[in-house]
Amino acid sequence: MGFREEIDTHKLPKHVAVIMDGNGRWAKGKGKMRVFGHHNGVLSVRDVVEGAGELGIKYLTLYTFSAENWNRPKYEVTAIMELLISTINKEIKKLMENNVRLNTIGDIDKLPEKCYVELKNAVEKTSANTGLVLTLALSYSSRREITDAAKAIAAKVEKGLIKAEDVDEALFAQHLHTADMPDPELLIRTSGEYRISNFLLWQIAYAELYFTDKLWPDFRREDLFEAILDYQKRERRFGLISEQIN
Ligand code: FPP
């Protein structure tokens, strides 16, 4: 029996977030340029998006390009941006067929103009789709997102729109880029690294963390299913004791 058949579809995480890591090492291991790894990483993205949609996951958030990634060699940054544009162009039809709504978090106005425009168009075009919400984190920094939220709230207090004592977790969460999404229950990171790397720091407060040695271009829907099965075997206590849950 495959992992897929073992999954209890009534107990799916609503939101799965993924730190896609290891493209560069995957390519290097094959004696190729890093960019070759990113190209193959797109095949994993496609397969995992399809798998998540098929299973009935509602939100899938992919750490595609961090704010820190701008400091990579220029040719690599350019290649990733071009890959993003060509992938959106190629996949938009599939996203529509599969009822996927595309969404972004991060400072996307920092992306090259063409990339920004393509993304905006794709987000707009898929905005009425009701299936999987696929969020790409682009030029994303969780600390910046949190700082920006604090700034926006402070400005509202300054203008007298809200009082300082009105600021609670729910109000704070409404000022994050993820305001209209539930928090991820499962965070997956590939490539054998055990770090969060400035990704969804607020939102993963209670997420189950799943680490795999697989490099991202080797990660496929079966691996997603394996991670979900592992998640389903865990007991989520939210600070309570076992007897209070059962
Ligand atoms: C991490 O591997 C991967 C990235 C920083 C880029 C992710 C981009 C893609 C998978 C392709 C584009 C995606 C979409 C959604 C169209 P790494 O380069 O950090 O690998 P390394 O740790 O081995 O160097």
Does 118 map to a domain? Answer: yes
Does 13 map to a domain? Answer: no
Of these residues, 47, 69, 148, 218, which one is catalytic?
69
Contact (CB, 8 A) for 202 and 32 = no
Which residues' Cβ are closer than 6 Å to ligand 1?
20-25, 38, 41-42, 45, 62, 64, 69, 80, 83-84, 87, 136, 191, 216
* Ligand 1: nearest atom to the Cα of 63: 7
| Angle, CA of 147, 152 and 154, to the nearest 5° | 90
**Residue 243 has what pLDDT?**
83
Q: What are the CA-CA distances from residue 122 to residues 8, 72, 104, 105, 163 (Å)? A: 32, 26, 10, 14, 38
Does 236 map to a domain? Answer: no
Task: Write the CB contacts of 246 (distance below 8 Å, at least 6 apart in sequence).
Answer: none
Does 185 map to a domain? Answer: yes
- Provide, for the chain, the percentages of residues in helix, strand and coil under a 3-state DSSP scheme, each rounded to the nearest 5: 50, 15, 35
Does 73 map to a domain? Answer: yes
Does 158 map to a domain? Answer: yes
69 is catalytic: yes
Helix (H, G, I), strand (E, B) or coil at 138: strand
Burial class (CB in 10 A: 0-12, 13-18, 19+), 178: buried
Does 127 map to a domain? Answer: yes
**Residue 222 has what pLDDT?**
98
Q: Look at the chain and report how many structural domains it folds into.
A: 1
Q: Whose CA is nearest to atom 22 of ligand 1?
A: 22
Q: Whose CA is nearest to atom 24 of ligand 1?
A: 24
* Residue 97 token pair: 């067929």
Give me the tens of pLDDT residue by residue for the chain, a chain 246 residues long.
789 999 999 999 999 999 999 999 999 999 999 999 999 999 999 999 999 999 999 999 999 999 999 999 999 999 999 999 999 999 999 999 999 999 999 999 999 999 999 999 999 999 999 999 999 999 999 999 999 999 999 999 999 999 999 999 999 999 999 999 999 999 999 999 999 999 999 999 999 999 999 999 999 999 999 999 999 999 777 788 888 876
| Nearest Cα residue to 135 out of 201, 58, 188 | 58
Residue 213: what are its φ and ψ, rounded to 5°?
Answer: -75, -15
Alpha-carbon span 14 to 185, nearest angstrom: 7
**Structure pTM?**
0.96
CATH number of the structural domain spanning residue 213: 3.40.1180.10
21 is catalytic: yes
38 lies in which domain range?
20-45+63-218
Give the burial string for 147-171 (b: 16+ CB within 10 Å, else e): eebeeebeebeeeeeeeeeebeeee
Does 150 map to a domain? Answer: yes
* Ligand 1: nearest atom to the Cα of 69: 5
**How much distance in Å is there from the Cα of 214 to the middle of ligand 1?**
13
**Residue 239 has what pLDDT?**
82
Taking the CB of residue 238, how many other CB atoms lie within 10 A of it? 8
